[in-house]
Amino acid sequence: MNTMGISQENLVKLRSTFPPGTRVKLLHMDDPYTKIPEGTLGTVRHVDDIGTIHVSWDGYGCLGVVYVEDACQVIPSGSND
């Protein structure tokens, strides 16, 4: 387990689920300074060593989805969601 509390096993799973280029939808972001609405779509850039999923949000720039605190889901290929 690294210093931020994510196990190596969970980090491998995150990186497998969210490889660069994956399209995602924001479900929840627990950040009072962020104005990215839930439901916003984006493209994964990378997953860092503490499990943050860095995403380029459509029309909102780049911001990380923090492991455990925030949530996003993979948009299946070919989906218009």
The CATH number linked to 44 is 2.30.30.40
Band of the pLDDT at 60, cuts 50, 70, 90?
very high
Q: Give the tokens for residue 24.
A: 């995602």
Within-domain flag for 2: no
User: What span, in angstroms and rounded, lies between the C-alpha atoms of 66 and 57?
Assistant: 14
Percent of the chain with pLDDT over 70: 93
Within-domain flag for 18: yes
pLDDT tens figures, 4-36: 679 999 999 999 999 999 999 999 999 888 889
Task: Tell me the pTM.
Answer: 0.89
Q: How many domains does the chain have?
A: 1
Within-domain flag for 40: yes
| Domain assignment of residue 24, given as a range | 8-74
Say which DSSP state 18 is in.
Answer: S
Band of the pLDDT at 54, cuts 50, 70, 90?
very high
User: What span, in angstroms and rounded, lies between the C-alpha atoms of 54 and 63?
Assistant: 6
Within-domain flag for 14: yes
